[in-house]
Amino acid sequence: MKKFHTLSVAEQFLGQFIPKGEKSHFDGPRFLARAKKLLDLLGNPQEEIQVIHVAGTSGKGSTAFLVSRLFSSHGIRVGLHLSPHLCDIRERVQINNQLVPEKDFLDALEELVPCIEKMKHEECGIPSYFEILVACAFYLFAQKKVAVAVMETGMGGRYDATNTVLDPSKIGLITRIGLDHTKVLGRTLEKIAYEKAMITQKGNCIFTISQHPHVSEVIEKTVHAQGGILSLLKPKRDYWHRHTYEEGSVGDIACGATLLKNVRCRMLGRHQIENAALACAGFALCLSRFGITPDENKIRDTLMNAVLPGRMQIVKIGHRTVIFDGAHNPQKIRALVKTIQDVFPGTKLSVLFACKENKDAASMLGTLIPIASRIMCSSFFHHTQDLSHVSYAPDALKRMLEKIGFSETTVARDGRNALESLLAETKKEPIVVTGSLYFLALFCDIILAGHAISGEPAFEIERASRDLSCARRV
């Protein structure tokens, strides 16, 4: 059996399963067949666990994270699968919101290798990087006997590798739907909503929030056609944003039959009240199946302290406030801008921006202009996750801005150097780094300082020198 002695060796092995570039033809049925076959060879561990399945365009990572935090706060052993990962591959396989020990991850991956080898002779072919890691998560969660596994979809839902759970007790959460991955999922909100809602299996209870009427209609029809039961969370009844300030957002959130008033969410933004409500709905239903009553104080404490790195995360570096947000589509950029206007009303910010070349960059940049004193256009390249992720060339982003009449723009090909130069200035205006989680990965040492992966509040970093790697928590 193949042995992995370090994470880097395991990642080198997984690298051979990364699809080469964006596939022009998305063969969804074959991809799902591969995921099912790999899990079947492993004994179908996904059917041994209570699963909460999270799909949507925006907010699914935050929602999945909050659900898992709620379970762990109540003493329920919970697994969490997030994708993409920001800094450590084990973010995709967490137990009780902690990265699984390196040895456990490596041992589980070793168990998958013979199954992957067998699939070389299958009609569906060998699994992809993403499919292997989803299977690894299910396998490890079953092995470690978690009570609940919270699984975030990668893209879409219908053909996603996470959509392999047939158990009618599965609970589905569908977050806000927007236009993203349109070449694969469809160019209308209705088509995308259908793909997301197809995570529904017979008997599943599905929760979603109030959306565009056409989106809500598609979700309702699809869930019912699949034999699921839909619950629609409505503003003012199930959730209500009151206000957002630098320390968090405040709102009313229903958890089961109880409406919790003036709940403080450490995760910033009106949209996070919505995500928290969706998380509480799925959590409360699942907890009732265990015969446990939600503890209001634990819920409030959890939401008050939960922070997911790279999501509207405020970091103090010297005299500057830096906001890291992985917004990577127009809908998420709109949420970011609205949150900044709530938290820093009337303030202009320096924006450091890079996004994948298949995104609607012009729309994203146009949305950022009202809060920007200047926009520095940067870049990234990643070939270490589920696909090769290439950003727009900075010059192309600059031309987009100039075309829409914004002249305060410069090219900064190296994102790290660009942030260093901004921090060296005497200006006090906040800085926002955004456009892609893959771009934020360049700043992992800052984002994860103070062990933010465990959900600590925003933290202070003292700038010991111009080298950002010297930053430390104070």
Say if residue 457 is preceded by a cis peptide, omega within 30 of 0: no
Q: What element of type H or E holds 174?
A: strand 171-174
Q: With a threshold of 0.85, does the pTM exceed it?
A: yes
For residues 218 and 358, membership in a common domain is answered with: no
Q: Show which of 289, 305, 321 is a domain's final residue.
A: 305
The amino acid occupying position 103 is: K
**Where among 281, 305, 329 does a domain terminate?**
305
Those residues whose C-beta lies under 8 Å from the C-beta of residue 89, and which sit 6 or more positions away, are: 7, 10, 11, 14, 105, 133
CA torsion 350-355-360-363 (nearest 10°) is 0
Is the separation of the CB atoms in 268 and 339 below 8 Å?
yes
pLDDT for 225 beyond 50: yes
Q: Is residue 258 part of a domain?
A: yes
Q: Tell me the C-alpha distance between 88 and 80, whole Å.
A: 14
pLDDT tens digits, residue range 139-168? Answer: 999 999 999 999 999 989 999 999 999 999
Considering the domain architecture, whether residues 301 and 317 belong to the same structural domain is answered as no
Judged against a pLDDT cut of 60, whether residue 451 lies above it is answered with: no
In a domain, 2, yes or no: no
Contact between 417 and 308 (Cβ < 8 Å): no
The reply to whether 96 and 129 lie within a common domain is yes
Hey, what are 402's tokens? 């100039």
Q: What is the pLDDT of residue 385?
A: 63
pLDDT at 335 over 70: yes
Between 287 and 381, the more confident residue is 287
Question: Band of the pLDDT at 427, cuts 50, 70, 90?
Answer: confident
Q: Mean pLDDT across the chain, nearest whole number? A: 90
State residue 243's pLDDT score: 93
**Separation of alpha carbons 200 and 214, rounded Å:** 19
Compute CA distances 209 → 143, 244, 280, 348, 412, whole Å.
34, 20, 12, 32, 39
Phi-psi region of 435 (alpha: psi -120 to 50; beta: other; left: phi over 0): left
In this structure, are 259 and 320 located in the same domain? no
Kindly indicate the confidence band of residue 383, based on its pLDDT and cuts at 50, 70 and 90.
low
- Considering the domain architecture, whether residues 353 and 282 belong to the same structural domain is answered as no
pLDDT of amino acid 19: 82
What CA–CA distance (Å, rounded) separates 59 from 311? 10
Domain count for the chain, please give it: 2
pLDDT band at 182 (very low <50, low <70, confident <90, very high): confident
Same domain, yes or no: 270 and 374: no
Boundary-marking domain end, from 305, 336, 371:
305
The residue whose two tokens read 């910010």 is: 349
CATH number (domain holding residue 415):
3.90.190.20
Kindly state whether residues 16 and 138 are assigned to the same domain: yes
Residue 185 falls within a domain, yes or no? yes
Pick from 2-16, 177-191, 294-308: least confident: 177-191
Torsions phi, psi for 352 (to 5 deg): -110, 115
Look at 95-99, 257-261, 287-291, 466-470 and tell me which has the smallest mean pLDDT.
Answer: 466-470
Q: Is there a domain that residue 156 lies in?
A: yes
Task: Say whether both 337 and 237 belong to one domain.
Answer: no
255 and 384 assigned to the same domain: no
Q: Is 263 domain-assigned?
A: yes
Regarding whether 332 and 250 lie in a shared domain, the answer is no
Measured CA to CA, the distance from residue 275 to residue 59 in angstroms comes to 6
Looking at the structure, do residues 40 and 150 belong to the same domain, yes or no?
Answer: yes
Give the per-residue SS3 of 225-243: HCCCEEEEECECCCEEEEE
Q: Would residue 198 count as lying in a domain?
A: yes
Q: Which among 50, 51, 60 is positioned nearest to 208, based on CA atoms? A: 60
Q: Which two tokens stand for residue 241?
A: 């944003």
| CATH number of domain containing 147 | 3.40.1190.10
pLDDT band at 3 (very low <50, low <70, confident <90, very high): confident
Judge whether 177 lies within some domain: yes
Q: Is residue 414 part of a domain?
A: yes
Q: How far is CA 306 from the centre of its chain?
A: 14
Q: Is the domain of 41 the same as that of 108?
A: yes
Token look-up 């004193």 returns: 373
**Parent domain of 277:** 7-305
**Average pLDDT, integer, range 72-76:** 97
pLDDT tens string 360-374: 999 999 999 999 999
The per-residue pLDDT for range 108-127, each reduced to its tens digit, is: 999 999 999 999 988 899 99
Q: What is the mean pLDDT of residues 188-196?
A: 95
